[in-house]
Structure 1
Amino acid sequence: MAKHNVQSPLPGTFYRKPSPDTPAYAEVGQRVEADSVIGLVEVMKQFSEVRAECAGTLQAFLVEDGDPIEPGQDLATIATEA
């Protein structure tokens, strides 16, 4: 089983939920598809979706909800079926 790290496309703040009172986009242990949204990056009140980029099982988030992040920083790990 191979692993894929999802990286941040932008600097900003990482969020796992679309809003504080809604469920997270994805949970550890959940199967995701390449186009599945797993979080958001907020930069100056603009939100960009972070997608899984490959199909597999979400193994871990490497940053916490609300953490500041840098471009290229690893956000999550996905175990692929490759």
Structure 2
Amino acid sequence: MSEHVVQSPLPGIFYTKPSPDQPPFVEVGSVVTADTTVGLVEVMKQFAEVKAGVNGTVTEIHAENESIIGPGDGILTVEKG
């Protein structure tokens, strides 16, 4: 198996969940498809969904909720499978 690091497409604030009172989009151990939303990046009050991009299992989450990230920063790692 190989690993894929999902990277931020934009600079901004990263959110792990759709709203403060909702559970995270994914957690370590979550099975994802290429189209699974793994988080949101907010730029100037606009929200962009971040997709997993591959099928597999989330093995590590690098970015914390409400952290500032830049383009290309690693958000999480997916073991392809």
Q: Same fold (TM over 0.5)?
A: yes
Task: List gaps (5 residues or longer) in structure 1.
Answer: none
Counterpart residue type for residue 51 of structure 2: R
Map 1:67-78; keep pairs closer than 5 Å.
Answer: 67-78=67-78
State the match for 2:14 in structure 1. 14
1:20-51 C-alpha deviation (Å, 9 max, x unpaired): 00111111101000000010000111000000
Shift of 1:9: 0.3
Task: List gaps (5 residues or longer) in structure 2.
Answer: none
Counterpart residue type for residue 47 of structure 1: F
Counterpart residue type for residue 62 of structure 1: H
Query: Matches of 1:44 and 1:68 in 2, distance apart?
Result: 13
TM-score w.r.t. the length of structure 2 is 0.97
1:36 matched to 2:16: no
1:2 matched to 2:10: no
TM-score w.r.t. the length of structure 1 is 0.96
Aligned residue for 1:19, secondary structure, equals: coil
1:26 matched to 2:26: yes
Q: Percent identity?
A: 52
Query: Matches of 2:61 and 2:41 in 1, distance apart?
Result: 14
State the match for 1:65 in structure 2. 65
Q: How many equivalent residue pairs?
A: 81
Runs of 4+ in 1 over 6 A off after TM superposition: none
